[in-house]
Structure 1
Amino acid sequence: MTASTSPQSAAFGLWPSPISAATVAAGATPLSQPQADGLDAYWLAGRASEGGRTTLLRQRGAELLEMTPAPLNVRSRVHEYGGGAYLVVAGTVYFSNFADNCIYVIAPGEAPRPMTLPGSARYADFAHDAARNRLIVVREDHAQAGAQPVNTLCAIDADGSETILARGSDFYAAPRLSPDGASLAWLSWDHPRMPWQGTELWLAPVQADGQLGSATLVAGGPDEAVCQPEWSPAGVLHCVSDRSGWWNLYRLADAEVQPLCERAAEFGSPHWTFAVSMYGFRSDGDIICTYIENGVSRLAQLSPDDGKLVPIVNPYEEIRELRVGGGAALILGGSPTIPLELARFDLASARPDVLARSITDLPADGYLSVPESITYASGGNGQRSAHAFYYPPCNADVTPDGAGKPPLMVISHGGPTGMATNTLKLATQFWTSRGFAVLDVNYGGSSGFGRAYRDALKGQWGVVDVEDCVAGARYLATRGVVDPERLVIRGGSAGGLTTLCALTFHDVFKAGASYYGVSDLKGLDDDSHKFESHYNEYLIAPKPESVALYLLRSPINHADKLTRPMIFFQGLDDKVVPPQQSEVMVSALRAAGVPVAYMTLEGEGHGFRKADSIVRTLEAELYFYLRIFGLTTPGQPAVVEIDNLPGAA
């Protein structure tokens, strides 16, 4: 796409844009979970046009091969969020198929075949035990109806038979075999902790019969979050721990956990999904790693012997995953001018070779807003600092008509330990190219800024996150760069609660959008899946103290205070935040005479994967704001029905 040579005058919000909702849906291919197998590179790619199916791709030389044609869907449902859905070992692929939860195997030159039988179990985070010709996996068994599933570490032989290796903890992750196959390391944790609050790293010998010997606690505990255990080529166990207040790298040597590089930076991330990797080993034992400093990713080589950290020049400011193998590093990264892409870095020359791009047809630079990283005062007395990325409106075809300042969209991310990044996203540029400013907020509780910042949300969900979004909008309005009368907020999941609380308990925002957002904290407890069933004990308070706070902070109990127009989007198959949470809020707003719209999507769960869903929701949200702000033109067809809209026929 190229920019026009004759800019036209148009009001903010009504700028003609080449970035349509269909462009957003078609242009962004989700990329995840890169793996190296010798010189071959593997990764997962989402197919929005195929109902959100995820397929496995292999790059071998100049050949790109789809390993899992439709209807195969490489996705795990362990913890509901999945991850760690496949493993490649010497050309053989093992993967979890979403439809039946079975593990399939693809041997070289053969078609995929099931390794396990359909049943009540789900599998994730595979490790290969070559000496015993088996997989070691995290298994989640849903056999007992009405009860929480049982999580274990399990060995699966080539014939599909299963043997439990470790049980008794509520959760398991990251089974990792030593290079000689003699020892197994893994992570576990128990309710009410989430894995970024406290995990335990265990180590046990593997006995001759394949069972585990007596396990030793190596690191971690209730207040120490350990993640990504890995073995070096020499058989030294490494991990990432936040015992210093930052997720730093450590190794086990002489029965001690030794720091490798003490730094106010994050070498790890919250365990929402399995098998996320932020470091790996060269054949000589040196570490290729990525870490986050002040919200921006860096790439470096670390020598474990002297702790020397040598930067590796690269174009990325977000590095989501990293894998090392075959003399190269596979990096999933992006920047303000680069959408998420998969690159192979030759470690000898540091030369990148892009293997896959999430967006292949990128609009011209003149339509793309480059964000500014901002820090501003927040909290009751401005005693805290909050971080965000500010995107100004940008469209080379348009000159603002001079009528005021642009509307501002504040985005509250989900998680709530998630992290807003500055990687180029068409979903953001959809708004900025139409004359909206966007503020993507890393509120207190976000990852990437150390444990203290993450713990700022402890007991304060619905307070600190909301304060930081409100303060960000006020900060920009005070600077005179946005219109204080056209401030909107949107969020999904946990960010939906932030959005609803901001609109219910504050008067800054004029409208908002909730994507499968939480409105009822007690209902979230009642309906939640096992992984998050105790999360509110950290975010709000343990019972019985939480009862009063649930009433106080749940927007569903204060619908009479919610007088701002809202639009709700809800997947009907959502098991994390069930539809009833949105439906109760919509009914209350309808009854109160507040403008409200509600769009449900069949076949969608917690997060929308289908191209049609992405198009419908974006077009409806834009239409909603334009109608609320009186910017639509006469005769414009309705995209979504808005109840209680003044002046509507």
Structure 2
Amino acid sequence: MTEPCIAPYGSWKSPITSDLIVAGTIGLGGVRLDGDIVYWSEMRPTEGGRNVVVCRTADGQITDVTPPPLNVRSRVHEYGGGAFLVHQGTLYFSNFADQRLYRQKAGQEPVAITPEQAWRYADGVVDAQRKRMICVREDHTGEGEPVNTLVSLDLDGQDAPQTVLVSGNDFYAAPRLSPDGSKLAWICWNHPNMPWDSTELWVGEISAEGTIAQAQRIAGGGEESIVQPLWSPDGTLYFVSDRSNWWNLYRWIPAAQAQGGEVTALCPMEAEFAFPQWVFGYSSYDFESAEQIICTYTQNGISYLASLNPTTKQLTPIETPYTEISGVHCSRGKVVFNAGSATQPGAIVQLDLATHQLQVLRRSSELEIDPGYLSVPETIAFPTENHLTAYGFYYPPKNKDFQAPAGERPPLLVKSHGGPTGATSAAFNLKIQYWTSRGFAVLDVNYGGSTGYGREYRERLKGQWGIVDVDDCANGAKYLAAQGKVDGDRLVIDGGSAGGYTTLCALTFRDVFKAGASYYGVSDLEALATDTHKFESRYLDSLIGPYPERKDLYVERSPIHATQFLNCPVIFFQGDEDKIVPPNQAEMMVNALREKGLPVAYVLYAGEQHGFRKAENIKRTLDGEFYFYARVFGFAMADEVEPVAIENLPTPRLQQV
């Protein structure tokens, strides 16, 4: 057995390269079932980030369905989701370039069925009785904010007239038809709420003319978030609500069967049966039959699969090797879902409910990596402000070929997730292994405001964005340094979008981190409040305060107005077509750092939006951030990468491998 080479942290040579990651990894999207055929979407960095619908037949044959250059992706709410559905062998999908809906029958070319209009579509359901689709439409044809409605459109037509079924609210999601086609359920909400703050669940009768009649709100409003309404095969409506502090499953019995209607909890527990509705089409449960629900829930950042009997309310765990499970869809005797674990890449998995045999249908990566290069995360809880506890996943450095000199402690990269109403998980992430296999420790933080820990934890960020999240990231780093696990003088932080804002706040308002990387992050809260898309245009009301009434808070918590406190190097990565966090957010900060004489780098990608999808840009970003820290801290890199232009950086003395 070869003895490990002694080399400083950060200078270890790793087989987990950026080329390997972008060439061998795809993104796996939502699953849909059509009889025995399984459909899902794949985001392919090597095809410029194109999203392709793929199907697997009952005999195991996997083929692409949508041809190039079509890109199956919706821009409703900008984040999209719910971009395709399948009904009796025909695929319906939204194309990214023109946002039109297309129909593609088996063996035929796709045909556009909506006009060339500034309309976007998502989250559709087929109304087979009336030969139409009901979906969310976002209308960008007028002045001011786009108008969101629920509409119906003819499935067999081309540029057929569309009928508005439900309107008047700012946002809609999850139109769901009852099995007999007589009722429609949907979710709606209004400014300034986000869907995890307050939503309403409505049910309406479908008239003989196909319009909605006798609509009634059956749950929600106030301090209650309802998501994922779904009808069981026997026509009972189920949904997920956080009225107990936790997103749990509920059932509604209408007034015809119970006076005034009745809402019943199915399985009250301190667990989350849903996640925030950033995108359309998310599914954490489905019906195998009227007698069996297959669901996934999360506790302490770990996902579990279970079977729930809605009559007895008995929850029976189903053992799997996975720690992250989503996108649950059932047909008789089987369930298909997205899954991943700490040591296995994400996959589309099928489970036989009779034998409990698991079958992987598609992996996000077919790479076989020696476990000697893989860091397994530890779930940690650490003290933070106000005598509270925050959470995260700690990844120690791991590379079987190297060890550090005696007494050296590793640099730590703290990762702050986006949202900020979101969460990170312990699922296998090659981008994290890229760092740990080179000698970095990584802390992926679920700061206060993250989901998966109940509404109360989620609401720690109410009015406190830029404070609670920053404190938790800083305290997590200090906790690990105090334990002697990491080098307190080499703490760095990165994050994208809202995580980029947390990163910039941590670097500006706290004296903990020595460098950082902002991926399309916010630097000026006022600019974000006045120059962003409809879905998030009032998000900051709850995170900061109403604007312009509390303009003082927006200025006070904007890193761009406090660059006098910023005294460490920062690198920025940005897409030039980002409508959520426009490039000027990064550029204002870069200019301020440049004028102050601090080391700074700015990488702008043509054609990228909010998040990078092209293989060459994903590679450039990974290598560029690592190169930046190597130059800042003066350790030698084991591999040559494309240099990033860094302004104002003195030449450091390099450690020797």
TM-score over 0.5 for the pair: yes
Secondary structure at the aligned position of 1:214 is classed as strand
- Give the drift of 1:27: 2.4
Secondary structure at the aligned position of 2:438 is classed as coil
1:78 is aligned to: 76
- Give the drift of 1:633: 6.8
Q: Deviations over 1:328-350 (max 9, x none)?
A: 11110111111111100011111
130-139 vs 106-115, greater mean Cα deviation: 106-115
Q: Deviations over 1:334-370 (max 9, x none)?
A: 1111111110001111111100111111311000000
In the TM superposition, what are the counterparts of 1:118-197 in structure 2 within 5 Å? 118-145=116-143, 147-157=144-154, 158-159=156-157, 160-197=160-197
- Give the drift of 1:396: 0.6
Q: TM-score, normalised by structure 1?
A: 0.97
- Give the drift of 1:261: 0.6
Instruction: Identify if the C-alpha distance between structure 1 residues 248 and 635 changes in structure 2 by more than 3 Å, giving closer, same or farther.
Output: closer
1:447 is aligned to: 451
1:49 is aligned to: 46
1:362 is aligned to: 368
Write the distance in 2 (CA, Å) between the matches of 1:622 and 1:337. Answer: 23
**Residues 1:16 and 2:13 are matched in the alignment:** yes
610-619 vs 17-26, greater mean Cα deviation: 17-26
Q: Deviations over 1:414-442 (max 9, x none)?
A: 00011110011100000000000000000
CA contact (8 A) 1:36 1:326 kept: no
1:25 is aligned to: 22
- Give the drift of 1:638: 6.2
Secondary structure at the aligned position of 1:56 is classed as strand
2:306 is aligned to: 300
2:487 is aligned to: 483
- Give the drift of 1:6: 4.1
Write the distance in 2 (CA, Å) between the matches of 1:333 and 1:76. Answer: 23
Q: Deviations over 1:116-164 (max 9, x none)?
A: 122110000011101000000100000014x110000000013132100
Q: Deviations over 1:552-597 (max 9, x none)?
A: 1000100111111000001001000000010010000010010101
- Give the drift of 1:546: 2.2
**Residues 1:514 and 2:515 are matched in the alignment:** no
Secondary structure at the aligned position of 1:417 is classed as coil
CA contact (8 A) 2:418 2:499 kept: yes
Instruction: Identify if the C-alpha distance between structure 1 residues 313 and 549 changes in structure 2 by more than 3 Å, giving closer, same or farther.
Output: same
1:394 is aligned to: 398
Q: Deviations over 1:238-293 (max 9, x none)?
A: 00000111000001113111110101100011000001000000124310000001
CA contact (8 A) 1:408 1:488 kept: yes
Identity of aligned residues (%): 53
Which of 590, 594, 600 is residue 598 of structure 2 equivalent to? 594
Write the distance in 2 (CA, Å) between the matches of 1:537 and 1:131. Answer: 43
CA contact (8 A) 2:630 2:637 kept: no
The one-letter code of the counterpart of 2:105 is: A
- Give the drift of 1:326: 3.9
Aligned length: 643
Secondary structure at the aligned position of 2:420 is classed as coil
CA contact (8 A) 2:300 2:453 kept: yes
1:570 is aligned to: 574
CA contact (8 A) 2:529 2:547 kept: no
Instruction: Identify if the C-alpha distance between structure 1 residues 599 and 363 changes in structure 2 by more than 3 Å, giving closer, same or farther.
Output: same
Write the distance in 2 (CA, Å) between the matches of 1:230 and 1:510. Answer: 49
The one-letter code of the counterpart of 1:542 is: P
The one-letter code of the counterpart of 2:196 is: W
RMSD value, Cα:
1.5
Write the distance in 2 (CA, Å) between the matches of 1:180 and 1:108. Answer: 26
The one-letter code of the counterpart of 1:13 is: G
**Residues 1:645 and 2:656 are matched in the alignment:** no
The one-letter code of the counterpart of 2:456 is: A
Write the distance in 1 (CA, Å) between the matches of 2:306 and 2:584. Answer: 47
Secondary structure at the aligned position of 2:346 is classed as strand
2:65 is aligned to: 67
In the TM superposition, what are the counterparts of 1:230-629 in structure 2 within 5 Å? 230-253=230-253, 254=258, 255-379=261-385, 381=386, 383-402=387-406, 404-629=408-633
The one-letter code of the counterpart of 2:301 is: G
The one-letter code of the counterpart of 1:250 is: Y
Q: Is there any run of 5+ residues in structure 2 with no aligned partner, and where?
A: none
Q: TM-score, normalised by structure 2?
A: 0.96
CA contact (8 A) 2:481 2:487 kept: yes
CA contact (8 A) 2:634 2:652 kept: no
Instruction: Identify if the C-alpha distance between structure 1 residues 315 and 648 changes in structure 2 by more than 3 Å, giving closer, same or farther.
Output: closer
Write the distance in 1 (CA, Å) between the matches of 2:209 and 2:577. Answer: 43
2:31 is aligned to: 34
- Give the drift of 1:295: 1.1
Secondary structure at the aligned position of 2:345 is classed as strand
Q: Is there any run of 5+ residues in structure 1 with no aligned partner, and where?
A: none
Secondary structure at the aligned position of 1:362 is classed as coil
Write the distance in 1 (CA, Å) between the matches of 2:380 and 2:637. Answer: 35
